[in-house]
Structure 1
């Protein structure tokens, strides 16, 4: 509400991504390349509660000011099927050390992939620029599976009609 009180009329709140599937967790939890069920479960509990809070805030305000981005689902799409999105892997980070390049920070001593555009993750936690573009596309034009209560393009269209 602090942001709304300062004058914001459209706020996108992102949920958590597929935290159990990032290279850091694959390296540290030794899941043989599978996502950490415990962390994935935590993310699956958090995101619906976030949407509930957004719904309550919007009801209180009487307008759809707050929009929720289901970044977990957006990222999970390319994590579960990287080849469909042109990635060679969603398990190994482009830059890092250790198993899955998931240990430590990206430094001059790190392993570095030859082409970051074919990796879903840049480092132990963060998607590559190309992967982030996929997530942003869902924020712009995605269905309610990805955005609640509407995507950004719809919100911008509504706002332009009210000018």
Structure 2
């Protein structure tokens, strides 16, 4: 049985599903593995007790069969687009999905949980999966793979896969700026230092478990996210300057530390993926990227609705492909597609 499964792995490894459009010649990626928050969550929150869910319409209305899967989008998310662009597969499954198939395990999964962050308190506030527990799930995943194809083959899979990590947004928006605890303990520079320290520690732990190609997303322009414009941007819903400055500071520190970390970890390629500047460009020049609206979401009024507030009773815009944001926080399927196309060429240069 192990031989059959390993042959399947070899077939998938050398005949990547969907075609490789960004990779150098003679390079293949066996699996995509994702950690972090809702940008990469493809349904793990369906299987835990939390209010941070999206496994109901109109979420997923443009997904295969119009099915809500727990993706925080009208369709595919960043995890899916990166998996397709790197020639791995069409859709990344949620690790907690009890019906996950062995062939899906071999080509990668997402451990991400919408609402989480690097700071353990962030996950506690939203009752979601902390990144530390996601790491434990990854260890379990490795054990499952070993039982399928053997230790040496698993080492090859893990060493040659691409790992994606998206966190930090909820640390600032759900945690730091929403409840007083961390603000009483840290100013923004000190809190940024804490988050960077936690991020670096997480990457080090991934490396110890065999990860060699790791993509770490920066914080987006936090103050320009529709819900924050509504809550803190005044009557004109302007971008919130202090939130954006916090993101810029964190991103600068994160980039510096990741650069140093890459030098210290043997055989590692750690790519800092700038989420901030591409999104600012889209938000300030939506027509350039094929969007009509980039200051509110498609669901409901687009100014506050997300998760359970974006539901079957919520009216949606007539053409979601004209909106960058799907709800008041997350990109549409088209938004994810455009962002992937912007950043992936540089990521590939950094990783291979």
1:23 aligns with 2:23: no
Deviation at 1:129, TM superposition (A): 1.2
CA distance in 2, matches of 1:40, 1:96: 25
C-alpha separation between the residues in 2 aligned to 1:20 and 1:96? 20
C-alpha displacement of 1:135: 1.6
1:14 aligns with 2:217: yes
Report the CA distance between 1:73 and its aligned residue.
Answer: 0.9
Give the total of aligned pairs: 146
How big is the shift at 1:28?
Answer: 1.0
Aligned to 1:152: 347
Cα offset for 1:125? 0.5
CA distance in 2, matches of 1:41, 1:76: 13
Residue in structure 1 matched with residue 144 of structure 2 by the alignment: none
Residue 101 of structure 1 is matched in structure 2 by: 303
Report if aligned partners of 2:271, 2:350 keep a CA contact under 8 Å in 1.
no
TM-superposed deviation, 1:153? 2.5
CA distance in 1, matches of 2:227, 2:313: 17
Quote how far apart the aligned CAs of 1:89 are: 1.0
What is the rounded CA distance, in whole Å, between the counterparts of 2:255 and 2:268 in structure 1? 12
Aligned partners of 2:338 and 2:255: how far apart in 1? 21
Distance 1:2 1:153, change over 3 A: same
2:299, 2:305 within 8 Å by CA — same for their partners in 1? no
Q: What secondary structure does 1:90 align onto?
A: strand
Structure 1 length as normaliser, TM-score? 0.82
1:155 Cα offset (Å): 4.2
Q: Are the aligned partners of 1:94 and 1:101 in contact in 2 as well (CA < 8 Å)?
A: no
Q: After the TM superposition, which parts of structure 1 deviate over 6 Å for at least 4 consecutive aligned residues?
A: none
Q: Is the Cα–Cα contact under 8 Å of residues 270 and 350 in structure 2 kept in the other structure?
A: no
1:45 aligns with 2:240: no
- Alpha-carbon distance between aligned partners in 1 of 2:233 and 2:264, rounded to the nearest angstrom: 45
Give me the whole-angstrom Cα distance separating, in 1, the residues matched to 2:272 and 2:347.
Answer: 10
Cα pair 2:213 2:269 within 8 Å, conserved:
yes
1:65–1:153 CA distance, 2 compared to 1 (3 A): closer
Larger relative contact order, structure 1 or 2 (CA cutoff 8 Å, min sep 6): 1
Aligned residue in 2 for 1:88: 292
Q: Matches of residues 116-155 of structure 1 in structure 2 within 5 Å?
A: 116-141=320-345, 151-155=346-350
C-alpha deviation, 1:64, in angstroms = 4.8
Runs of at least 5 residues in structure 1 that lack an aligned partner in the other structure: 142-150, 159-163
Secondary structure, in 3 states, of the residue corresponding to 1:49? helix
Q: Which runs of 5+ in 2 are unaligned?
A: 1-203
Q: Which has the larger radius of gyration?
A: 2
